[in-house]
Structure 1
Amino acid sequence: MKVNKFEIEHIDPLGQGVSKKDDKIIFIPKTLPGESGTCEILKSKKKVHFAKATKVDRKSDLRIEDQCPHFHECPSCHYLHTDYEQEVVFKEEALKRHFRTIQSQLDSSKIHIHKASERFGYRNRIQLHYDVEENKLGYFDALQESIVEVPKCKLLRSELQEKFDQLYQNWQRKIGPKDKAQGHFEIYLKDHEVSVHHNKNYAHGGFSQVNEKMNQLMNLTLSTHLEERSGNAIDLFGGSGNLTATSAHLKTLVIDGTETKYIKVKEHQSYRQLNLYGRKAPEHFSQLLDQFFSEKCETLIIDPPRSGLKNIDAFLEKASYPEMIYYIGCECPNLVRDLAKISDRYELLEVHLFDLFPGTRHFETLAILKRR
């Protein structure tokens, strides 16, 4: 193994330390600004390298003793080597960095940070990958293309612990002769019941956010803003209408690709199933609006999957450009990419960062926009 030296300048939005030394740009997880040491290069792409720290000679004052036995090998968490307050600082810096692509500086008065009350024990859903030949069950490390076993993971809620422990004890017995040698299990707490499925679609049985407390806070924040609205609303990628469930004063059309058998909406909501990533989705979306609303809808809520909504401009055109947009994104760069397409028509009023995924680089972003 060739030893490479590093000196960390800053943390990037992916939670990686960035070292620029000897004409090399090296991204190293689990490091902090000001730290130096040696690392092992795991992958390279042109002049960019992805590495793993083998020794930290100079440690940052921000470094703490992590509380998880899997942290240094696990790909799931990124910030357990520093305290939670500093983690939130890194996330706010990442948020500002992402928004630079549509404006040089995001006004601090527009930014609202919502911290988590718990750093551990918050996930109501855990997905574990397995490999029969390697006899491993755990989280998949894409960088090293291997599974990291995590039998003492601290992220899951206590209600999942029994099923989680049982799965680690006998997961091999659940793999049938027709199953693939590689796959995944999902442990899911929903409606006060814990279920275990393997090789089913993600969030089998209907999607819900993995952090219930923070999801409630995000819903409350959105519903407070929606109290100022009146008339009709469109809840795009709305699932079962989670985000608009408490806004009974709005006649709401919930549109999503989820099968109707999993949907239970409130009296003020109506649900229509539509593949929003389909080739003619904007046209079908327009037809739904014509069928459902007799007048223009001025409130649009968008909560797409991680990939965002690349043709957001086409949907807005079909909706005759609603006055207010509330866009929730779980991958901030994709949210900003989409907002860039409509920045000439809409003004950014507020940006809310909700830390639904403490310990990790991930967070949810709510952007509130008004038609110019």
Structure 2
Amino acid sequence: MEEWYLMTSQTRPNITGGYENDAFADYKGDAFAESLETELATTVILYNHDLSVSKEARCIIQGNGADTQLKSLERTVLFPIGTVKAGMYIFFENRYWLITGYPGNNTIYEKATIIVCQYLLRWQNKSGDIIERWTNYTSASKYDVGENGNNTIFLTSNNYTILVPYDDETINLEGKRVFIDTNKSNPRKVFKITRSDDVLYDYGEEHGRLLSLIADKTELNLETDNCELMICDYISPSTSDIPSEPPKPDEDSDFVARIIGKDNIRFGIKQLYTGILENSKGEELTDYNFRWNIVSDKKIHYSESNNTITIEIDNENYIGSSFLLQIIVDEEIVASKEIKIIGIF
């Protein structure tokens, strides 16, 4: 019955060690699963393209001992087959990493390449919603001196190549101006997305997609750019979020009040809320004065400007709790919104 075995007296030693072919095929997945339970593996958090869906996963990360600075920004990860796609994020070593390579497998495990994300890019969509994506940057002007111009005027100069997940929001980034500046207290570096390449990293629906962007240095416009929120060409939130048939005011009131903004706020990220007063026809009223009020047993940092309020949570211990944001007119509460504090990831 020697033909049952892969090894004979003439066979060189090999990884199968004499087990039958069918046994190897049946248990190769189990063997990799066992390796994920050892110290060779680590636990990471997998996220979809916009961080709205997450789950813990075990994987083996290779390349931690890089020999060059560029290689230190990359890793190779091994997962069970069918786990990841390009454009997903991995949270590992307190950083977000973007899956950039085409995931492949050898019928035992799935292998993909990841690259570290250096910056959280923020912009507004057409509705005024603030969108955020973690992104990877490489210099597209490595030897640029940082200035161009003539004897009359000098302008700053710089270019980046940016990798970002492909989705319905990022596909509209071309032509937008964005802050790319780690100085949050006094941001001044503004770039324009001048090119969006949706072909280079298109691996298909099964394997995921990325966008490659070119960001060209431009100048800050203090009239249109919101440095506090780090949003270029800032616009007020669109009233498209308001139902087409707003509720009618009660008999004792000439208006209804609304608070426009998300129901949750991330720790460490400023969030803008807008208050609107409307008549029974849904027309905005400007002849009423109102004030904001926050109901919480915690210290909430905020700043007000006209009919908007910007809130920031700087205490990590507040995560999981909530507070009330209210609009007050003539010492009466006319609108209230419960806001939950969530983590950065």
Same fold (TM over 0.5): no
TM-score, structure 2 normalization: 0.32
Structure having the higher Rg: 2
Which of structures 1 and 2 has the larger relative contact order (alpha carbons within 8 angstroms, sep 6+)? 1
Q: Which of the pair is proportionally richer in strand? A: 2
